[in-house]
Amino acid sequence: MIPGTMLFHASWRAVLRGGSPRFEGVITISEILTKSAFQDLLRTLLPNAAAGAEEIWADFARECVQAGQYVDFVPEPEETALSRWYDTLLASFVLLKQDCGGDVAASICGMSLDDRCLYPYEMERAGLELKEGGNVDALFQLMMEGTLEAPVPVFPKLRDTAPQMLLENRLESMSQI
C-alpha cells in the first residue's frame, strides 16, 4: 500500500444512496486521467481481461463524448469529459471486481471485443447475471432490452471507490483491489 493512503471499499448500494465516504489524512487526486493511464490501470486491475479490451473501452469513452453523452449529464470540455469517462469506467470495474469477482469483471471487460461496452449503470446487473451463471450472449440481449440499466443512472467515481488508484495514477495500488 502507498504510504499515506488507505484501502477503501464501497459498494454499489452506497454509491446509489449517494453516501459520501470518509477519508482519513490527505489524498491527492489527479484532476485529469489520461487515456494511457486509464489503459494501464484497467490492464492492472483486470490482468485476465482479453488483450486489446482497454483500447476499445477508451474508444467507447471517446464515442460517448463525441455523442454528447457526459458523466453525470454535465457537458464539459473534451479533455475533462474523457477523463471523467475513464474515471467512471475504472470505478465501475473496481466495484464489479469487488462485488462479483475478477473473472466476472474480466468477462464484462472482454465484451468490448464484440462491440458490447456497457454503461457504468448497467454493470452491476450484468455482473450479477454472470455471477449467477448467466452468459455474455444473454447479457447482450438484456442490454438491447434495456433491462440492465439501474433505475437511476449512477456514475461511480474512483475518489469514492478506490482513491488509491488516483494517487499519481500509481499502478502498484491496483494489486491490492
Domain ranges of the chain: 32-163
Q: What is the largest CA-CA distance in the chain?
A: 46
The closest alpha carbon to 12, from 146, 130, 121, belongs to 121
Contact 101, 73 (CB under 8 A): no
Q: What is the mean pLDDT of the chain?
A: 81
Provide the pLDDT for residue 159: 87
Provide the pLDDT for residue 77: 95
Average pLDDT for 116-129: 94
Out of 43-47, 113-117, 167-171, pick the least confident: 167-171
Provide the pLDDT for residue 16: 43
Q: Give dist(CA 89, CA 104) in Å, integer.
A: 15
175: amino acid identity, one letter = S
Q: What is the pLDDT of residues 31-54, one digit of tens each?
A: 689 999 999 999 999 999 999 999
> Which three-class secondary structure state does DSSP give residue 82?
helix
